[in-house]
Amino acid sequence: MALINLNLNKKQIVLINKFLFLLFIIQLPVVAYKFSIQGFAEENIGTYAIKGGGLTTMIPIVAIAYMMAWYFLVKRSNWYIILSVCFILWGIVGQKVALLFLFPITFFCLYYILIIRNSGFHFVRDISLSTTILLMSAVVVAAFIYTEPRLNRERTIGGKIDFNYAFNNASKYTTSELPTDARFGAGRTATTKLAIKQLVNDGFNNFVFGYGPGAMTPSVLNKSNRYDSRLWKISGSYGITGLVYIWIEYGVFAVFLFCVLFLLFLKESWYCYNIELDPYWKSFAAGSIIFCLLNLFIFLTYNINPVADDTLLPVFYYVMAVIHILPVKD
What 3-state class would DSSP assign to 206? helix
Residues 306 and 314: their CA atoms lie apart, in Å, by 10
The whole-model pTM stands at 0.90
Nearest to 241 by CA among 307, 148, 317: 307
3-state secondary structure (DSSP) of residue 320? helix
C-alpha distances (whole Å) from 159 to each of 53, 163, 173, 304 are: 23, 12, 18, 32
Spatial separation of the C-alpha atoms in residues 201 and 206, rounded to whole Å: 9
Determine the Cα–Cα distance for residues 187 and 311; give it in Å rounded to an integer.
Answer: 25
pLDDT of 177 > 70? The answer is no
pLDDT per residue over 235-263, tens digit each? Answer: 777 788 999 999 999 999 999 999 999 99
Looking at 58-62, 176-180, 209-213, 264-268, which range is the least confident one? 176-180
* Secondary structure (DSSP) of 138-170: HHHHHHHHHH-GGGSTT-STT----HHHHHHHH
Instruction: Give yes or no for residue 307 having a pLDDT over 80.
Output: yes
Distance, CA of 5 to chain centre: 29
Is 284 within 8 Å of 322 (Cβ atoms)? Answer: yes
Confidence of residue 222 (pLDDT cuts 50, 70, 90): low
Of 324, 273, 320, 301, whose CA–CA distance to 57 is shortest? 301
* pLDDT confidence of residue 43: 81
pLDDT surpassing 70 at residue 179: no
| Side chain identity, residue 264 | L
The span from the first CA to the last CA of the chain, in angstroms, equals 20
Residue 142 and residue 137: Cα distance in Å, rounded? 8
Write the DSSP assignment of 252-304 as a string of letters.
HHHHHHHHHHHHHHHHHHHHHHHH--SHHHHHHHHHHHHHHHHHHHHHHHT-S
- Per-residue pLDDT tens digits for 273-302: 999 999 999 999 999 999 999 999 999 999
Integer angstrom CA distances of residue 12 from 7, 8, 18, 50, 329 = 10, 6, 10, 30, 10
Q: How many CA atoms lie within 13 A of 109 on its CB side?
A: 21
Separation CA 208–CA 189 (nearest Å): 21
- Determine the 3-state secondary structure of 134 from DSSP: helix
CB of 25 closer than 8 Å to CB of 83: yes
Lowest mean pLDDT among 142-151, 177-186, 312-321: 177-186
Helices (H), the chain: 2-6, 10-38, 59-73, 78-93, 99-111, 117-119, 123-147, 163-175, 188-201, 204-209, 232-235, 242-250, 252-275, 279-301, 313-325
